[in-house]
Each structure stands twice: as C-alpha cells, then as structure tokens.
C-alpha cells in the first residue's frame, strides 16, 4: 500500500518533536523516558517520550508519536494537543504552523505558563487549564470521572496550581521564547 503524499507531509512533526526533546533534555534538569503506550482503548501502541523535571513544582511534557504521522502533546496533567487534528486533504492543516504550535506550547510550559485546577459543579467535576506564553493565551476545560476528580483533589488541584518554570542545567542560558510573527 502506498503512503498518501498528503498525509506523509506531516512527517516533519516527528522530526521537530525529536529535535525539541533533544534540545530540552540537553538544557534542562529533566529525566527522559521512552515507552510504548495506548492512547485509547481502540488505538495501537505508540512511542511515548516524556520529559519530567526533577523538581515536583514543574510540569511534565509528554509527546506521543502517532502513525499519521502526527503527535499528541501532553503538558501537565490535562493539557492535550493533537497535531494535526485531522490529516485529510479537506482540512489541509499546515505542517509549519503545527511545528510552531508545538514549540510555542512547549515554551509556555517551560517558562511556567501552565496552570490547572479542578472545579466542582452540580453535574460533577471539571478540569480547567490555561496556557500562557509569548503569542499564546489559551484555555481548556472538560469533565472528570469521579475517580479522576478525587485523585486530582488529593494531589492538590482543588485550588489552582501554577506550574513552576523548568530548572536549567548549570551553565545553560534560558532560550529566547518562541516568537510568532503577527
């Protein structure tokens, strides 16, 4: 079976993610872990790379490498970004913009721009996340199962948690934030 050239153009996402992971692991005090994981019950195993800062106050970053080829970026506890959202020719997502989104979101996380919390409501509990960085101010929310809500509150997410910036390795300069042309 031949690869769809429209979908194949997203291979640059895998290259960009590899370069980003290598750069961050070199500059910051993090542990890098690779595993094979399921993204969902009906999905195949995918390669997952995690960068976990050695300070518990800083949020982890995880990238799943999907077969599309694409990525699932996870920041902190609940921030999830699928790149591309849709690989079809009709949606026609621009790989260069997706690489920019990957770098911009990772930069915001590293600089301490992610906060998360759990809200209780009449119909149950919800997570709320905000990611703020250069050229980025985004918000997400969604429902939580009872078990996830209870676990999150036990972990201190009943009040808003603002994740700390990642610690730099000694002798390393903090990189310039990702800038977006407006």
10-62 per-position pLDDT tens digit: 899 999 999 999 999 999 999 999 999 888 777 778 999 999 999 999 999 99
**DSSP assignment, residue 167?**
P
Which long-range CB contacts under 8 A does 66-70 form with residues at least 24 apart?
66/39, 68/7, 68/10, 69/7, 69/8, 69/10, 69/11, 69/13, 69/14, 70/10, 70/13
Biggest CA–CA distance in the chain, Å, is 51
Domain boundaries, the chain: 5-110
Q: What is the mean pLDDT of residues 110-136?
A: 93
pTM of the model: 0.87
Task: Give the separation between CA 114 and CA 117, rounded to whole angstroms.
Answer: 11
Confidence band of 180 (pLDDT split at 50, 70, 90): very low
79/136 Cα distance (integer angstroms): 14
Between 29 and 4, where is the model more confident?
Answer: 29
């Amino acid at each position: 079976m031949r690869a769809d050239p429209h979908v194949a153009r997203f291979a640059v996402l895998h290259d960009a993610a590899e370069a980003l992971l290598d750069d961050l692991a070199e500059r910051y005090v993090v542990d890098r872990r690779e595993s094979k994981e399921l993204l969902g019950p009906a999905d195949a195993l995918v390669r997952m790379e995690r960068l976990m800062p050695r300070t518990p106050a800083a949020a982890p970053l995880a990238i799943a490498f999907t077969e599309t080829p694409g990525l699932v970026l996870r920041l902190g506890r609940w921030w999830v970004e699928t790149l591309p959202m849709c690989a079809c020719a009709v949606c026609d997502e621009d790989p260069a913009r997706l690489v920019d989104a990957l770098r911009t979101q990772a930069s915001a996380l590293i600089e301490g721009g992610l906060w998360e919390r759990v809200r209780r409501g009449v119909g149950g509990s919800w997570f709320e996340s905000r990611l703020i960085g250069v050229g980025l101010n985004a918000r997400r929310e969604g429902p939580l199962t009872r078990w996830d809500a209870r676990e999150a509150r036990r972990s201190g997410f009943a009040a808003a948690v603002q994740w700390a910036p990642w610690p730099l390795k000694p002798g390393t300069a903090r990189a310039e934030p990702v800038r977006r042309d407006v």
